[in-house]
Structure 1
Amino acid sequence: MTPSANQLSILFPGQGSQAVGMGVALAEEYPVARAVFDEVDEALGQYLFELMAKGPSEELTLTRNTQPALMAVSIAAFRVLQDAGLGYGTMLGMAGHSLGEYSAYCAAGSISLTDTAKLLRLRGEAMQSAVPVGEGAMAAILGLDMDHVIAICDETGAEIANDNSPGQVVISGAVAAVDAACQMAKDHGAKRALKLPVSAPFHCTLMKPAQEAMAEALNAATISAPEVPIYSNVLAAPVTDPDMIRQTLTEQVTGKVRWTETIKRMEKDGTRTFIEVGAGKVLTGLVKRIADDSKAINFGTPADFDNFRDAVAH
């Protein structure tokens, strides 16, 4: 089971991929996965895995819980693949969507699992407290190109949060700005302008208080160079220097997730197979809309192992 060197990249999902029951099958099948969940529970002083396994969904979807929980599933799945022979030498790089970027640095040995869990708990709490509930919003604009959405944001005061794929842009900001942008997008021919069920307006300037909190935490954190390059959300380019890691993760709190550009850059650099590691298949779907010449699969449960084996055998 030996992938072609430097043609494989690993992706880690962000908020929105969570679901009650995630990680349970991994923990039951693989001791190395169970160990990850136990370490995260200990780091946070919380039975987070029990919440992941049993819910309630309303508590799991609280940002302070969602962020470390999704990371834990990603790292558990990644370590299963490492046990199966997936080595750093086979990878071109890694990337993660929003909080998934922390999963990438953890998987690449840049930040310890315990520290990553604590950073994401802080990140979730800081993001939630930055804007009072009900004052911010996010929405997905489907069917308009980026330039068109930028023009709408310029006029309404909303901001680009995520450039997820061609024709799928997420905006963020104050409720009135996002509502105005949604109406304008519909008037300009958007297929849909869909408000998202989130508790805060992520990746916009309203998150400035959270950015300041993360800058302090990241400056105090132990961060080393990753074993493979991590493609930064805000740069859409590979990062390996610890000081640059701190800077880009800090900027990411208010900055745009340049996902389309990131995947295109990874493909340009030689990636031919993307493996989404963790809960859900959101990124797998996005990659298929961005990178026509590449293969995309996901690994998040034991049932997905055959997909992984087949992908790296060719």
Structure 2
Amino acid sequence: MATALLFAGQGAQKVGMGKTLYDASDVVRALYDEADRVLGWELSKLSFEGPAEALTETKVCQPALFVHGLALHAVLKEQGKLGEVTMALGLSLGELTAYCAAGVYDFSTGLRIVAERGRLMQEACEQTTGTMAAVIGESREAVNALCADFDVQAANFNAPGQIIISGEQAKVAAAVEAGKARGMKRVLPLNVAGAYHSRLMEPAREKFAAYLADIPFAAPQLKVFTNTTGAAVSDPVAIKEALVKQVVSSVLWEDCVRAAVAAGAGPLWELGPGKVLAGMAKRTEREWVVNSFAEFEDFSA
């Protein structure tokens, strides 16, 4: 069986991420030093030292997670542990990390793309009054009906019974109350900066499309899966279109992971903080094998 790499999305970040990798590996030090140079600000310092409020900002955490994921990938490669990796996929922001690992663009190009995506999404958050909520323990059909009734969108299908909704604050609040009234088990408002993966991100989508227009993409060297459909995508033009669409459309993460496993992936290797993706995978199919890597000590376990 072949290994699939899973890259983390926004929300997984935590202060200190990547510090042990930086201290232990010249290759990782070079990545973080290049990131600081490309961005023109100290991503490494914010990743390693915080403060948490700064690291949580969309324009910071997206490039921070991108660099951290590729630092983990670099250590696996450096230690000869990558083995037969044939697939890569990522949750939301992590999809861009997966394309870099698959050779669609190089590190510095990918970092610039991610930084611009994060900047545009934060800008869209600041221009709108959006939020998100988690609906736990309900079917897709029930959540889609709730969204239709209150004019909000299903933003993330993370795992069976773990769905995130997104939209204007007042409409999400009304949907939360209605969900409780309908007997939904758990409907929880989330503390987020905006309505990600919804129509409120349209200003970011439009500007991101213009930004990507002249950047060359290569065909991926690994099988990669897009959040927009849950299916594999290989044409560079289609990849670019998927990244633009992803800004305003639902993240079909459960579908992506199921498709990877159906294509022969196993084990799944999570590259990112907090074992977030491992938890989602186990919620989807308990027997799946998921190995999580976040810091240097995980490589000797």
> Does the pair score TM above 0.5?
yes
Equivalences, count: 301
What TM-score, normalized to structure 1? 0.92
Q: What is the CA-CA distance between 1:259 and the residue it aligns to?
A: 0.8
| Identity fraction in percent | 38
Partner of 1:311: none
Partner of 1:195: 189
Which amino acid counterpart does residue 32 of structure 2 have in structure 1?
F
Q: Give 1:139-150 correspondences, 5 Å limit.
A: 139-150=133-144
Match of 2:11 among 16, 22, 30: 16
Q: What is the CA-CA distance between 1:291 and the residue it aligns to?
A: 2.8
Match of 1:38 among 33, 38, 49: 33
- Separation in structure 2 between the aligned mates of residue 190 and residue 84 of structure 1, nearest angstrom: 47
Partner of 2:70: 75
- Separation in structure 1 between the aligned mates of residue 40 and residue 192 of structure 2, nearest angstrom: 25
Gaps of 5+ in 2: none
- 8 Å CA contact 2:125–2:193 kept in 1: the answer is no
RMSD: 1.4
- 8 Å CA contact 1:14–1:96 kept in 2: the answer is yes
What TM-score, normalized to structure 2? 0.96
Q: Give 1:1-314 correspondences, 5 Å limit.
A: 4=1, 7-87=2-82, 90-132=84-126, 135-307=129-301
Runs of 4+ with >6 A deviation = none
Question: Could you say what secondary structure the match of 1:272 adopts?
Answer: strand
Which amino acid counterpart does residue 240 of structure 1 have in structure 2?
S
Q: What is the CA-CA distance between 1:29 and the residue it aligns to?
A: 1.0
Which amino acid counterpart does residue 111 of structure 1 have in structure 2?
Y
- Separation in structure 2 between the aligned mates of residue 299 and residue 244 of structure 1, nearest angstrom: 30
- Separation in structure 2 between the aligned mates of residue 30 and residue 131 of structure 1, nearest angstrom: 36
Which amino acid counterpart does residue 155 of structure 1 have in structure 2?
D
Which amino acid counterpart does residue 48 of structure 2 have in structure 1?
A
Cα offsets for 1:174-205 (capped at 9, x unmatched) = 00111111112212233322222211110011
- Separation in structure 1 between the aligned mates of residue 56 and residue 35 of structure 2, nearest angstrom: 17
- Separation in structure 2 between the aligned mates of residue 133 and residue 180 of structure 1, nearest angstrom: 21
Which amino acid counterpart does residue 8 of structure 1 have in structure 2?
T
